[in-house]
Amino acid sequence: DTGVSQDPRHKITKRGQNVTFRCDPISEHNRLYWYRQTLGQGPEFLTYFQNEAQLEKSRLLSDRFSAERPKGSFSTLEIQRTEQGDSAMYLCASTLGTGGRYSNQPQHFGDGTRLSIL
C-alpha cells in the first residue's frame, strides 16, 4: 500500500493558462474524490468517481473544470483558463466502496497539489 499520490505537488502558472493534475489512488480502491481547500477552510467537495463513472459533481465545479478517470484507476483534474480564485490546494482521496451509494470505509487522502495563479 503506497498510499494516494498526487502530481505535481506545486504548480505556479499565469492567469489564463490551463493546468492538469493527476491522482493515483490506492490500487484496490474503486472510489475517488477531488476536493479543493483554501487557507483556514476545510476541504470542499468537487467531484466523485466510482470506477470510471463520474457520479457526482459539486456546483463549485464550473465548466472550466473537468475530471476524468478513464480506466477506473488514476484520475486527472483539468482547469482551463485559470483565474486568481482558483488558487488553492487540490486534494484527492480514495476509498473502497463496499456497496450501494455509501461507503463505511475511511477516506485516504494524498498530499495535494498546491496551485498558485500569478
Partner 1 sequence: KQEVTQIPAALSVPEGENLVLNCSFTDSAIYNLQWFRQDPGKGLTSLLLIQSSQREQTSGRLNASLDKSSGRSTLYIAASQPGDSATYLCAVRPRLESGGSYIPTFGRGTSLIVHP
22 binds partner 1 (CB under 8 A): no
C-alpha cell at 88: 488553492
Nearer to partner 1, 17 or 51 (CB): 51
Considering the complex, what minimum distance in angstroms separates the CB of residue 81 from partner 1?
A: 25
45 binds partner 1 (CB under 8 A): yes
Largest CA distance in the chain: 43
Cβ contact 67:23 at 8 Å: no
108 binds partner 1 (CB under 8 A): yes
111 binds partner 1 (CB under 8 A): yes
Query: What share of residues in the chain are helix, strand, coil (percent, to 5)?
Result: 5, 45, 50
Q: Kindly indicate which of the ranges 11-19, 71-79, 80-88, 105-113 contains the residues binding partner 1, using the contact rule CB under 8 A.
A: 105-113
Q: Kindly indicate which of the ranges 11-19, 66-74, 79-87, 104-112 contains the residues binding partner 1, using the contact rule CB under 8 A.
A: 104-112
Using alpha carbons, list the distances in angstroms from residue 74 to 38, 40, 54, 100, 118: 24, 28, 13, 22, 28
Using CB under 8 A as the criterion, which residues of the chain lie in contact with partner 1 when the complex forms?
Answer: 4, 6, 40-45, 48, 55-56, 58, 91, 93, 101-102, 104-112, 114
